[in-house]
Chain A
Amino acid sequence: ILNVEQSPQSLHVQEGDSTNFTCSFPSSNFYALHWYRWETAKSPEALFVMTLNGDEKKKGRISATLNTKEGYSYLYIKGSQPEDSATYLCARDSNYQLIWGAGTKLIIKP
């Protein structure tokens, strides 16, 4: 079972500031990298599915980049808002399975 690492484990950010966090994964036999947003008492919801090296995806104030050669992806949030408070999960595919990181818990301070 390959390892997917996310850092930092948690992050406190002032409202209005921008932030980013990292997902690291083994680069061999790569096919897809997923990002999900998970709010407390809810279910994870997909943000992005990325497959190509150099891919960059954007949804509103949230964007993500992918480097499959070195095995990392960054998630960026621009101008953080209280509603961005959530745990952000990444997952890498491996032989019909998604292998998940433990998540980055983002807390936005008003």
Chain B
Amino acid sequence: NAGVTQTPKFQVLKTGQSMTLQCAQDMNHEYMSWYRQDPGMGLRLIHYSVGAGITDQGEVPNGYNVSRSTTEDFPLRLLSAAPSQTSVYFCASSYSTSGNTEAFFGQGTRLTVV
């Protein structure tokens, strides 16, 4: 089983550039989410989706866009990269939208904005 596939693993961007982080899951999960992880802090939710066509903002959505055109895919777009967006990004999915089923994580993307 592939599970949650997240690409790329590493990326360096210049300030002002845009890019898309890809996330795909093959478990038919309804709920998908994007997190960023910064030193000394817990995972912080950027955006989430409770199903195809439905997205919503998390704790730190500014500077990021998402879409969910299919159940499988949930890309994260950085519109104009800033050094403050240097972080490790994780995509996750879970079967239920109600919070009582475990989350499965992608392998992470280490993004550096210079």
Interface residues in chain A, defined as those with a beta carbon under 8 Å from any beta carbon in chain B: 1, 4, 31-32, 34, 36, 42-46, 49, 51, 89, 91, 93-94, 96-103
Contacting pair A31 B106 (CB below 8 A): no
Select A89's contact among B42, B48, B97, beta carbons within 8 Å.
Answer: B42
Q: A96-B56, A100-B42 are in contact. Are A43 and B99 (CB under 8 A)?
A: no
Bound CA span A43–B91, Å: 10
Select B48's contact among A44, A96, A100, beta carbons within 8 Å.
Answer: A96
B62 CB to closest chain A CB (Å) equals 15
| Closest 4 pairs between A and B when the two form their complex, measured CB to CB | A93-B99, A46-B102, A100-B42, A43-B105
Interface centre among A46, A93, A98, A100, by most chain B C-beta atoms within 10 angstroms, is: A98
- What 0/1 pattern do residues 81 to 111 of B give for CB contact below 8 A with A? 0000000001000000111111111111000
Contacting pair B43 A97 (CB below 8 A): no
Count of residues in B whose CB is under 8 Å from the partner chain: 27
Instruction: Give the residues in chain B near A31, CB-CB below 8 Å.
Output: 98-100
Given contacts A4-B42, A46-B104, A89-B42, 15 further A-B contacts (CB under 8 A): A31-B98, A36-B103, A42-B107, A44-B90, A44-B103, A44-B105, A45-B105, A46-B102, A49-B101, A93-B99, A96-B99, A97-B58, A98-B43, A98-B103, A100-B44
Instruction: Give the residues in chain A near B56, CB-CB below 8 Å.
Output: 96
Instruction: Give the residues in chain A near B99, CB-CB below 8 Å.
Output: 31-32, 93-94, 96-98
Bound CA span A32–B48, Å: 18
Q: Is B40 an interface residue (CB 8 A)?
A: yes
Bound CA span A65–B87, Å: 32
Bound CA span A1–B60, Å: 11
Contacting pair B100 A103 (CB below 8 A): no
Bound CA span A101–B41, Å: 8
